Structure 1
Amino acid sequence: MTEPQQGFAIGVDLGTSNTVAVVRWPDGRTRPLLVDGAPIMPSGVFVDEHGRLHVGRDAARLAGLDPSRFEPNPKRRIDEPTVLLGDREIPTVDLLAAILAAVARAAVEAVGFLPTAVLTYPAAWGTRRRDTLATAARRAGWPPVMLVPEPVAAARYFADVLRRPVPVGSALAVFDFGGGTLDIAVVRNDNGRFTVIGSGGVEDLGGLDIDAALVEHLGALIGTTAPGIWEALRNPASTTQRRDRRLFWDDVRGAKEMLSRTTVAPITVPGADQAIHLTREELDRVIGPLIHRAVWETGSVISSAGLRGDQLAGMFLVGGSSRLPLASRQLHAELGIAPTVLEQPELPVAEGALAELAPPAGFAAGDVTSATGYGAAPTGAFSGSPAGFSGSPAGFGNAPAVAPVSPGFGAAPISGGAPGGAPGGYPMSASQVIPPGQFNGAPATAPFSPAPPSPPLPARGRSRRGLLVGVVAAVLVLAVVAGGYFWFFRDRATTVDFATLKAEKTFEMGDPETVNTPISATLGNRAVIGWRVDKQFFVQAIDLDDKKPAWSKITLNQDYSKWRILAYQGGIVVIGGGSSAGSVFELSWDNGKTLREEPFDDYYDTFLPLGPVWLLHRNKDKETVAFNWSGKEAWRRPDNPKGVSTILSQTKATDLRGPSNYAGAPTNRDTKSSQNFLSIDSDDKIRLINATKGEETGSWNNVGDSGSFYLPYDGKLYVAGGSTKYKVNVYDLGSSGEPTQIYSASNDTVKIAALAPCSDGRLCIIDGTYGGKDTTVRAISLTDKREVWNAPAPGTTTLIPAGKQVLATDRDTPASVLLNSDGKQVLKNEDKGSYGVRVTGGSLMFFTGTQSATSGTTLTLVGVAASSGERIALGALPKTIGPSCSWNAAQILCASGGSFQLWRFAS
């Protein structure tokens, strides 16, 4: 194993219903491993007619065609030598190996090789079951792994990651409520080593059984009004009915999860015209007997360990089903100890297992051993691979070097109709089919054998080596101190510490069947949410620090089909439209009071925020009107008599240190310093206008045309003509001199698509021919007046500056290219098929998933550090209406169903 590989490790929790893995980097940071773009992979396996095994989401999807070929919970079959799937008998160990092979491929995609691994298992498992797990790991191509009991891993997370005290001699209860089973253990701290002193559980009680109870309850309700529909769902006879049954179960499961955050959840019934609703009260009533059984078993295990609930150092709830509020309430009420449960309880076991990875004294390099003395799994040197494994596949090597990344731009005025308002690269996907018994597509490592012991050094050699070790240690201490100083005093405005998504607060809108067009806007620690119900639009401000509404919702009694919310330092702006007759409202941050309402043509009029005023340019009246942020009219300025004007405001370099919206425009602009604006007039003039009085303070001849692009940035105006062989001119807004031409296109087939500032005094351009397949990003030097570099960026239409880098991205394709100051691509393959935005000047966030404005879909988020290009999987936003989202440097607010959910993605 090479030096770079030694610091990496991976913890894997192969669960009954879901499998998760967490990777630890050499610097100690941990990140959930994305498999098929998500941190949680279903553990199901499907065998097709050719005998190939499919796993995860692909397996669940294929199960709709033939459920008899699908095993959703292979871990439950651990005691069976084979499992009959369709017309084939598949060894159970091969089903488990297929899951672990998918994790292996995802690990190689993430770090470039297979790291040292630790696998977890239930504490009640004996030697034979553990041997089966170890054999499955070997068949999947893993080097020798360490096996750790799941409750020990959970206790490590509780003590080491959450930093909750478990004094020596004290014990912790672990309540592992997963999809298929309930596992309970009492773990004692024996001088820093956790030992299981009591275990038990219920093998036929888990999330699947909760789902089954809810389905039966709902089936009784459906059967009274639509017996035919319920019979088809209960006993499907066709492919369509089997698909409907799976969709219905998925929706019931989703409603159950939603009720951990809300009090009511809708459930769609295939074949019925209307959805039914499940309340938290119904949920508690239906699952009450099952939870009571779980609580009784927990008390029994604690008693068998010779303890009472009040003698425990804590109770830690892990596993997806532990989210159920009734579980923690009944455990607290019956056992007298308040449980600890996390927002994402599927991850602690895999991450906690990493703390046990450092082998105890005497651990042989080639051994596969239980870390807590529960007996040894088969040991011996890993001297080869199963059939089909002949070494490392092509492309498996050391982790690739990480190149730097960075921030973003965009600042068009708000105007009607105008813009401004799959991972690839690796040859195998994590769900690629694998023939049973021949995992020739899974990653492997070269044959492993322990290195021979080094001969003893003479005394003088040992002394020199000790001195060298001391010097190296001193250097490392200084490096750590310096690194800590840098981390503590770093510019927090440009970087964030990404972390797994954590749900912080839910803000209710109402019945999801009646709520339409939810939208939000975030400004620092404040946010505004809005939604339409029938012919009314509701608005509410939120304090993101306190996570409470700043004032009760207010109502705008206008029937518009399209709404936008904009948040500025001076006030809140709400724009309604969808047709030529619309309105713009200015609201107070203090109480939501409407300070001004003005007519607004959603197709042709323009809204522009400045420091002292906000502007409306009215196309029909050919005039610009200014209003103070108190709501009073300040001045009016007519357009040039020859035609209609266009108004623009400047963007400053400081604006690019904060978040951008989906369109790339900065959302935390310093509007107070915006004391003037530009008017591009129809008499071929560019005029600089004082915002306070509306008076002209300077003018220049305009060499642009009707298709030109304008970028006012930091005291300069960039004009890129949209005509044949476009040119780029720069106006200095601080002088009256003529513009300077810095670039001219090389041919007349190339059209410009976007402009943005680059680092080091450069301007970046996206251009290409019609269709976008040859889209190119060009960096133009302002001093040398020439192209510095160009790079292909197919399918991109938006430029977002990111420090010394620039992100070219597109939301519809989606596609992203991240280029450093030399024009080199630094974005990982996994994110090239995603859509990117800026979080801060040094941090980016990427969205994967369909962003529907009408229905909720799962959006997967990834954070990227601009300084290094490293990525961290943040998690998934379930059933999210993508266009409703807004964010600051640490939180994201999105609509889901009938509520807005506030998530934290950075510390």
Structure 2
Amino acid sequence: MPADYLLSVDLGTSHTVAVVVWPDGRTRPLLFDGSPVMPSAVFLDQAGTIHTGKDAERLASTAPERFEPNPKQRISDGTLLLGDREIPVTAAFAAILARVARTAVESVGHLPNAVLTCPAAWSEQRRAALHDAAAQAGYRPVKILTEPVAAAHYYTSRLAQPLTPGQALAVFDFGGGTLDIAVLERRGDGSFGVLADGGLHDLGGLDFDAALVAHIGETVRQREPEIWKRLEQPSGASEMRNRRELWDEVRAAKEMLSRSSVAPVTVPDMAQSLHLTRGELDQISRPLLARAVGETQRVLGLTGRRPEHLTGLFLVGGSSRMPMVAKMLHEGLGIAPTVLEQPELPVSEGAALALTSTAPVTPPAPMATPPQSPTAPHMHSGSLPPVTPGSDQTMQLRRGEPEKPKRRLRPKWIAIIAAVAVLAVALPLGWWWLTNPYKQRPFAEELTEVGAAIPFAAEGNSGVYEVRVWDDKALFAYTAATSSNQDGEEMHLRAVDTATGEPLWDEDKVFPGDGWEDKFYVSDDLIAFSQEVEASGGAVEYRYYFLDWKTGETVNTRTSSGRDAARSGDLFVIAPYGGTVIEVFDADGAPVADWTLGDEEDGVTIASWGLVGNPDDLGKPSTPSNGDGRLWVLTSDNMLHVYDLESGDTVAEKELETVDDRYFAWNGLLYVAVDKESGYEINVYDIDKDLARAAEVSVDVEDAEIETMTACGEALICVAELAPEATSAYHWQVYDADAEEIVHTFDDGEFGGVDPIGDRLMVEYYEGDDLRTQVYDKNFKAVENNLAEEGFEAVDGGSALSWPEGGTFLSTPGSVIGLGRDGSRTALRTDLEVFTCGASDTRLACFTAEGMQVYAIRDE
């Protein structure tokens, strides 16, 4: 007889079930709010506490944006956005497991050793997330058993359906987010081996809910179009709450239809309830379930066995409760499935049975507290024994000598243990909040003016008009005719405090002359801009002005033959193509470093150059560092040079590819796209290892014409190929430096730009002649949005902004739209008329007809 308790937890997409194995071999489900099935839901309150289960569902009505009903479905994302905070998915798992731990402590007096379940197809990385979450929740090292193996043990033990060696059982695990199918074979030693597994990761109970909501929506749209518009695209907390309530109503109706032929659905704001019938549910479910049946047939086919060769087909998971599931499987396979009244329970109890060596007994009714017999041997605990190797074999328990009996914990100690479990979750979570660069913060409800518009000092012409916003400062620049000569031109600059809307300078700083460029460079201390001037002999040069942010006074000017420049921190780089000299200046225009490369007489000049990009900029795109402080330069003799801008040191020099190829540097790596007879090749070099070859990948795209390379993630590089018969539309290849391979291709249609929004992507694509914007997550799965607006610009690691743009100093009316990394859309204003704008993470600064105006897009 076992001498220890064992806790078995099935953390599912929609529900979590936990079972305790008692020392005498009995199994008891833990009760959460009086039920053995706890919603796998989490809610993050303002204080940073994660609430779970029904508490989370109740709190969801107060702030729907802080609620996540299905965190397990988001494991591939890595993080959850809950209100204005982004937390790791493991923190949500840990909160759920901590709730289970507290209940177990209340029930048996201590936290037993535990086994957790996971889908058979889960990678080691995903299983590691469960291990991490359990550790955060205060568990000792846990064992992990696959769900189909656990279900098979329940089938043979609790349901008394023996399988002899060589016989096979199919487990159909239909949960809230996914369908997992496995065919298992009983082995001679009593263990189970998985012959084949598969499933549909995009089909679960939530998809049936969505189909039913859409079905209800057709009726609501016809009767009350405004109500449906608010439910379909909620814009505030109240409307989001109504949308959540509608989904809850539809889910409850779906569950009721498993027991009756008709179920009511109350639609928020509608006076009259609607109804769903079993016939409607069956009609809507049939095409979805046809996919499930087809996938079951496919997985079974992988084993080489026919349906009649199966000893049984066992249905588990909450979505298996729908009568249509068993009906269609019976029709499609010709065998009658086995399904229980509560199909959420077998996996958890089966995992417990797999780890115990006692003979099965009839399970007692669920109890929240143990019996009080003083002689019961339930006061023991010990380490969970090792498992026989083999990820899909039965875990055989090998117990050592029991430890000395432990006293039942007093309530105050139970409370202390529970508090420690909560702290185990809260401490790493708090650290994540402090360090996570990809938080999604909510936008304001509407765009509001900050201060009054600052009038133009002169009437602008059709030349330059630019806005640069840096942190709490904005630089406005525009050209105007001179007051003494309408044919003359002058540049006007004005700096504004974006926190107050007040000007930093009392008046415009005016620079006479023409030839003004639309290139302005700003950072904490730097303001630099350029003017084309005529040098002796008719040559063209460029005069660079350096200004002081506080006073607007010119602190320095520099003249160079180079029109091309860049900023890295507060350093300013001028490196002319076709020239030989690279110059670096500080924010005051003082020289920091310079290099002479090649010799113009020998025909060796600068062919291309750029900064080595910094992934930290993804978290702060409105105030980027613009590089990691290093510069790469390719000369016409095919030599690649890398320099440290601040020290002036040479980092590396090496002959790589040719000047005809495309070069790009990001996160310590140099990428070179080389044309081949068929497609092209991406060669990767490690800058920190003297440009040693790090990787290469071939892209076999016929007649591919590479336009550019750009960073689109911490380790991702996006390569733009000109789409066939297009002049401004592209296909994109996404290269992952960690995986050293192309991990995704955007070529199903014609695409515009691809830009990062933190660790996700904003992708423009053509729908006819119109550009639309779609957000994709880290797994290149489209997030639930589809925006007609184009030209979104990331303003922080979790959101982006779109605003109207004029031209030739003509104002243009349009919308200001906020976009979250989760695809949420916030209409800040629909009728803003501007010439041009610039944005930070909290402010939008624009030229308007009234002058220079600052707007708040969210609180500071």
Measured against the shorter chain, the TM-score band is 0.3 to 0.5
Bigger radius of gyration:
2
TM-score by length of 2: 0.48
TM-score by length of 1: 0.45
